[in-house]
C-alpha cells in the first residue's frame, strides 16, 4: 500500500488534484490510488507531523469509511486551528486568550509548521507572564524548533534577560547545534552584547568550528579586544590550537594589536600557572 506523511492541508489537496487530473480512461485507477493516499495522510496529518490519528480504510470504500475519514479530518483540522490560535495569542501577548484556549483543550506543547511552540514565541517577545503560565502548564522548556532553536536561545537573542532567567530556573539549558560555528559567527559580527548574554547563560567559550578554531581565535585574528577580553574572562583557553596549529596568541601577533597581545600573554601566564599547580596537586594525591 502506498503511504506518505502529509504535514499541511495544502499538500493533501495538491496531491488529490494531481491524482484526479488526466483522461477518463485513467481516472478510475487514480481514484483508487487517491483513496489509499487519503487514508494514509489523514492518519498522519497533525500540526507537527506526529502520527496521533488512525483511521485505516480496512473496511474499504463506503459510507462508514467516509464518515470515519471525515471525522478524523475534522479532528486534525480543529487541532491545527487551536495550535495556530495558541501561537497567535503567545505572539501578541494575549494571556487571557491563551488561558481560554488551553482550558478548551488546546495542547501548549503543540508546534507550528516551523516547529515553534507558544513558549518559543513568548520567550522571543519577552512576555514574562505568558512564559510563567506556560511553565506552570508543564510545557517542555527545552523544546527545539526545526532550526534547533530553544525558547532560552530565543530569549537571549532578543535581549529578554528576565525571561531567560525564568527559563533557566526551570531547567532550561543553552543547547546549540554547532555551537563553535555559531559563537565564531557572533564574534565575527562584533556583537559583544549578544556574546555576553550567551556566556552568562552557560555556553562553552572553547567551542570549536569545523577548522578547530575557537571564538578567541576569531577575536584575536580580527583584533577585537573587547570580545577577546569577554572570552578570556569566561574561561577561553589561549593555548587551544586550530587545525593549522595556531593559537589565539599566534593570531594576535599576526594582527599586531598590542593591547590584545598583552591580554593574551597575561592570560597565557595565568593559565600555565594554574595548569602547573593542578598537575602538582594531582601528583601529590597519588603519593
Give the tens place of pLDDT for each residue, 94-106. 999 999 999 988 9
Buried/exposed 241-262: b ≥16 CB within 10 Å, e otherwise = ebeeebbbbbbbbebebeebbe
Q: How large is the average pLDDT for residues 7-29?
A: 44
pLDDT, position 54: 44
Is pLDDT at 77 greater than 80 in this prediction?
no
Give the tens place of pLDDT for each residue, 54-72. 444 444 455 555 555 655 6
Half-sphere exposure of 174 (CA within 13 A, CB side): 20
pLDDT, position 242: 97
Q: Which of 78, 87, 80 is nearest to 143 (CA)?
A: 87
| CA dist list (Å): 31 to 6, 213, 250 | 18, 57, 69
* pLDDT confidence band for 281 (50 / 70 / 90): low
pLDDT, position 136: 96
* pLDDT confidence band for 75 (50 / 70 / 90): low
Query: Does 80-169 carry CATH code 1.25.40.20?
Result: yes
The CATH number of 179-286 is 1.25.40.20
* pLDDT confidence band for 109 (50 / 70 / 90): very high
pLDDT, position 70: 52
Tell me the whole-structure pTM to 2 decimals.
Answer: 0.68
Average pLDDT, the chain: 80
Q: Are 57 and 69 in contact (CB under 8 A)?
A: yes
* pLDDT confidence band for 74 (50 / 70 / 90): low
pLDDT, position 285: 53
Distance CA 154, CA 157 (A): 5
Q: Which of 117, 153, 156, 149 is nearest to 134 (CA)?
A: 117
Higher pLDDT, 262 or 278: 262
pLDDT, position 58: 45
Q: Which of 62, 10, 11, 66 is nearest to 39 (CA)?
A: 66
Give the tens place of pLDDT for each residue, 148-159. 999 999 999 999
Q: How large is the average pLDDT for residues 169-177?
A: 91
Q: Please name the residue that has the C-alpha cell 510545557.
A: 139
Every domain of the chain with CATH number 1.25.40.20 lies at 80-169, 179-286
pLDDT, position 229: 98
Q: What percent of the chain has pLDDT over 90?
A: 62
pLDDT, position 48: 45
* pLDDT confidence band for 279 (50 / 70 / 90): low
Sign of CA dihedral 44, 45, 48, 53: negative
How many residues can be counted in the chain?
Answer: 287
3-state secondary structure of 112: coil
Q: Are 257 and 226 in contact (CB under 8 A)?
A: no
Half-sphere exposure of 66 (CA within 13 A, CB side): 3
Higher pLDDT, 68 or 233: 233
Amino acid at each position: 500500500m502506498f503511504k506518505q506523511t502529509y504535514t499541511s492541508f495544502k499538500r493533501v489537496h495538491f496531491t488529490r488534484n494531481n491524482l484526479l487530473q488526466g483522461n477518463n480512461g485513467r481516472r478510475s485507477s487514480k481514484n483508487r490510488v487517491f483513496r489509499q493516499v487519503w487514508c494514509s495522510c489523514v492518519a498522519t496529518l497533525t500540526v507537527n507531523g506526529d502520527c496521533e490519528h488512525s483511521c485505516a480504510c480496512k473496511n474499504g470504500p463506503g459510507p462508514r469509511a467516509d464518515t470515519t475519514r471525515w471525522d478524523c479530518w475534522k479532528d486534525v483540522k480543529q487541532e491545527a486551528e487551536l495550535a495556530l490560535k495558541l501561537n497567535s495569542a503567545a505572539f501578541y501577548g494575549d494571556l487571557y486568550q491563551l488561558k481560554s484556549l488551553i482550558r478548551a483543550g488546546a495542547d501548549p506543547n503543540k508546534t507550528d509548521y516551523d516547529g515553534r511552540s507558544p513558549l518559543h514565541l513568548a520567550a522571543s517577545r519577552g512576555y514574562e507572564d505568558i512564559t510563567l503560565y506556560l511553565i506552570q502548564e508543564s510545557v517542555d522548556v527545552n523544546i527545539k524548533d526545526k532550526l534547533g532553536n530553544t525558547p532560552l536561545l530565543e530569549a537571549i537573542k532578543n535581549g529578554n534577560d528576565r525571561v531567560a532567567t525564568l527559563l533557566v530556573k526551570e531547567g532550561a539549558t543553552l543547547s546549540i547545534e554547532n555551537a563553535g560555528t555559531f559563537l565564531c559567527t557572533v564574534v565575527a559580527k562584533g556583537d559583544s552584547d549578544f556574546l555576553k548574554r550567551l556566556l552568562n547563560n552557560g555556553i562553552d567559550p572553547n567551542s570549536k568550528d569545523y577548522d578547530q578554531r575557537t571564538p578567541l581565535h576569531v577575536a584575536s585574528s580580527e583584533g577585537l579586544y573587547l570580545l577577546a577580553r569577554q572570552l578570556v574572562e569566561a574561561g577561553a583557553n589561549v593555548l587551544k590550537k586550530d587545525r593549522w596549529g595556531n593559537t589565539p596568541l599566534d593570531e594576535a601577533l599576526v594582527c599586531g594589536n598590542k593591547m590584545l597581545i598583552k591580554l593574551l600573554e597575561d592570560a597565557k601566564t595565568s593559565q600555565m600557572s594554574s595548569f602547573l599547580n593542578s598537575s602538582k596537586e594531582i601528583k601529590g594525591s597519588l603519593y
